[in-house]
Structures are given as structure tokens and as C-alpha cells.
Structure 1
């Protein structure tokens, strides 16, 4: 299935040619998610999303959606741990498809609680294990695995089956990912996408400031054991410091200004603990970047 054929579908308002059914075309669309040609990969993803977003029973039965889910979760381990290989496209676009499958469940409720919890576990394991942190890859287009993982968590945090303990695990996983020593600085707004997950979790009104203060302390004293004042002696630690500061800044301004998401009205609210969390986020920033910010309130 080449890009010319895919463009025929796009130009036909994403309607498949009459001689094809969703079941017939889906295996190739899923295979294309790992293509190194960005037009093939991204167009296949968009077509697949359109088919999924139509809802349960329109293009896919619940069982067919589950089969897609199983393939996508298996894909999350494909080449995991590799840092600059083409396997990242398979993983990065599979986590995006899972995001859409969960979003449809939010409307049609076709997944069970054990299935949602399994997806949460798969997502948490994937976020921790993903080592290819590239955003836009020259000649090959977007990989953006961490941003795509953030999109997955942005959706699953809203799921009816997730409780406060689940949200805490997600926020802790983000803190650990952001603050880990790495050879890569996030430059493609991964910090913004990850901060949006926190906003989504806060809007469930299940988290309290006692947890959030402990969570912010996780940035100040990360599990890796980095001492931020000494980070400049090691490039990986400097990168971790930069990523951590940028994430906290993104969180601060999203709390202050709100976030804009054109496809959903859910974010058009203000977290109930916003003012207190703004103050505590400043506390964390001052503790990490004490050379820049004055201590005066």
C-alpha cells in the first residue's frame, strides 16, 4: 500500500474505496505504522484513527478493536531499549493508536476494567523503558515517542476505571522519566505534552496537596540521586536538570494560563488546587535552579 493509494482515501474524505472493507485494509495500515517514510506512516495512522474514531460497531466490532489493541501493546516492546533505530516508529505510533482505542472506550465503554488496567501497566512499563528520545528524525519525520506516550496518558487519566492511586503512579512515572540522566535534551515540546497529563489528572479531583508536595519533592531529589548543584560535571545530569526545569516551567504556565485542546472540552477547567500548586511548583523550581530565582516571594 503506497502513499498514492493512501492519498486517494484522504481525498475521498477518508472513505475507503468500495472494493475494500476496514477489515481488509487494517493489517496494511498497522504495518505502515513502522514505515520510515513519514507520509506513509502518518497518513496510515490518520486513516486508522478515522476508522477507529467512528465508534464501536461502525468500522470495527469490539473484538476487532481488541485485536488491534493486542497487536499495538505487543509492538511496544519491539526494539525497546534501542536508542537510534527505526524500531522507534513502530513503538511511537503504536502507543498513539492505543490512545485512540482508549478514547473510544470513553464513549462506548467496550473495554473492561482489567483491560484498562493492563493498558495502564503496559504504558507505564513502556514509558520507563523507552530510550529513543528523538523528536523529529531527519529524512524520516516524527518519532516523538515520549510526546506520544504523554498523549496516551493524557487520555487514560480520564478513564472511569482509574483511581487516585493510578493517577499517582502516572505522575511519579513522569517525574522519574523527566529527571533521569540522559544524552538527550527534550526540544520538541515533550515537556508541554507531559505537563498536560498532570493537568488531566488534576482535573479528576482525586489528588490532594499532600501527595502533590511529595511528588514535587521527587523532582528536587530525584530517584537517580542527582544533586542538582553538582549536575554540571556530567552531561547526562545537565540534560536531566534542563528537562526537569523545562517540565516544571511548562506545568507552572499551564496551571496559570490553562491549556487549549481543540478536540476536547475537558481541559477547559481549572484544577481546584491550582493556586497552592502554583506556589509549590515555584518552590520546586527555586530548589533546583537556585542561581536564577530570587528567594523572595
Structure 2
């Protein structure tokens, strides 16, 4: 099935809430969608491929075996790691939309190689340099936000450990203090949501959470040399502060965030 045939099929399926026609093999369909998951046409990628894959997985319209096949493919060098390290290149769409479906599958599947997936996702996250949000004519790249979404699934999984949660927080700290790019498309809120899920996992002790928050320090120096990193960190901590207050989280932790915000930033 070529690209145009797939797009035509998905446009028809969208009218029936992505019901798979009897003449179409579900495995072939999903394999073809995975091949095109990084397409630069935002309608084809977001509204058709992403929406259809997400729906079919959630409804179990594809077998658990096939869901595991999709997960393995998306974690591969052909998808999550394709072009990793490139900046302002179209390969970013393949990586970031692979991450979204990886998150859906991790949330859905219980019997997974959790350690392998965590290692792959975190390795990807540390090496992703293309931080663009919305790209004109091509739609959302949004690598930091999509990374946050898969971290939510990993942190909520029943195989999550204290060690894996600490590694996730280390990556979140790195991303939210990045001084090379200014986040303006809600990345702070998405990362705060992931952090909330990590904190609620109960595998981390209060002093470990407090130590993580205290790692946030204002970058000192000429304003233009450090304003982006300080802006990103401050927005993230603000978002986290209000999220935790809203759910009546441990007041001692909320206080630590407040003190870091007021004393550091």
C-alpha cells in the first residue's frame, strides 16, 4: 500500500470512527501507518495516522501480539532514533510521533520489557536536540511535550521502580533547564504533569523529591546568556507548584517548590 492509498483509506475510515473494513488486514494496515508516522503532512500524520493508531490500540482492534510488534518497531533506529541529533530536520516528526504511540502502548500493555523501554526512551530524551514546538506548514514537532507524555505512561506503569523514576526526573530537570531554547507551547505544563505522576507513584521518599526540587538553581551571568534556561525552569516550577496545590499534595513538598521559586528565581 503506497502513501496515497493509505491516506485515501484512512480518510474513508475516519467517517466510521476508524472501523477497519473487512477487506483490510489489521496488521498490514498498522504496519503501513507506522511506516508513515513521521509524514510532514500534518493532516495525514495527526488527524489520520495518529488518531487511527491510537483508536485501534485503545479498542484492541489489533491483537496484543501486533501491539507489541508496533512497540518494537517504534523503539527502533528507524523511528525513535531516526536522525537523532539533527536540528530543524523533518526526521523530528518521526521521532516525536513515535513517542506518542509508545506512550499509548506502554499504558496499555502490562507484559512489556519495561527496563528496555525506559532505557531507550531516556536515551532518546537526552539526545534529542530539536526542541521546536509548532512548525509552519508541517504542524507539531513538540519533542519535549511528547516526551513528557511517554514519561507519564512509564511512571504510571506497575513495573516502575524508584531507580527508573529518579532517571526520569533527571531527564525532566535537564529538559526544563535547557538554556538553548525558549518553550512557549505548554511544554512546562506537560513536564509538570509527568512530574506529578512520578511523585504520586509512592516509590520515592519525601527527601528524594525535595532534593530533586532543590536542584533547580538560577543560572547566573549576562541576561541574554541565561534568560532562556531561567524562563523555562521558572515556568516549569510554577506549573508544578499549582498542579500539586490543586491535588492537595504533601504541603512540605509544595513549600519547597515555593521557596525555590521565591529564593532562586
Alpha-carbon distance, 1:257 to partner? 2.0
Query: Gapped runs of 5+ residues in structure 2?
Result: none
User: Which of 156, 159, 162 is matched with 2:157 structurally?
Assistant: 159
Give me the CA root mean square deviation.
1.5
Could you list the per-position Cα deviations for residues 111-150 of structure 1 after superposition, in whole angstroms to 9, with x for gaps in the alignment? Answer: 2xxx111111111111111111111110011111110110
Alpha-carbon distance, 1:281 to partner? 0.3
Query: Is it true that 1:15 corresponds to 2:4 in the alignment?
Result: no
User: Which of 40, 52, 58 is matched with 2:57 structurally?
Assistant: 52
Q: How far apart, in 1, do the equivalents of 2:93 and 2:155 lie?
A: 24
The answer to whether the Cα contact below 8 Å between 1:228 and 1:288 also exists between their aligned partners in 2 is: no
The answer to whether the Cα contact below 8 Å between 1:192 and 1:251 also exists between their aligned partners in 2 is: yes
Query: Is it true that 1:195 corresponds to 2:195 in the alignment?
Result: no
Could you list the per-position Cα deviations for residues 153-201 of structure 1 after superposition, in whole angstroms to 9, with x for gaps in the alignment? Answer: 001101111122221111121012211321x211110000000011111
Provide the residue aligned with 1:266 in structure 2.
none
Query: Is it true that 1:230 corresponds to 2:221 in the alignment?
Result: yes
Q: How far apart, in 1, do the equivalents of 2:141 and 2:19 lie?
A: 27
Q: How far apart, in 2, do the equivalents of 1:231 and 1:210 lie?
A: 33
Provide the residue aligned with 1:210 in structure 2.
207
The answer to whether the Cα contact below 8 Å between 1:192 and 1:247 also exists between their aligned partners in 2 is: yes
Structure-1-length-normalised TM-score: 0.83
Alpha-carbon distance, 1:233 to partner? 4.5
Q: How far apart, in 2, do the equivalents of 1:85 and 1:186 lie?
A: 18
The correspondence of residues 32-71 of structure 1 with structure 2, limited to 5 A, is 32-42=36-46, 43-55=48-60, 58-62=61-65, 64-71=66-73
Structure-2-length-normalised TM-score: 0.92
The answer to whether the Cα contact below 8 Å between 1:171 and 1:215 also exists between their aligned partners in 2 is: yes
Q: How far apart, in 2, do the equivalents of 1:229 and 1:24 lie?
A: 54
Query: Is it true that 1:286 corresponds to 2:262 in the alignment?
Result: yes
Query: Gapped runs of 5+ residues in structure 1?
Result: 221-226, 259-269, 290-297
Q: How far apart, in 1, do the equivalents of 2:190 and 2:167 lie?
A: 17
Alpha-carbon distance, 1:231 to partner? 4.8
Task: Extract structure 1 runs of 4+ deviating beyond 6 A.
Answer: none
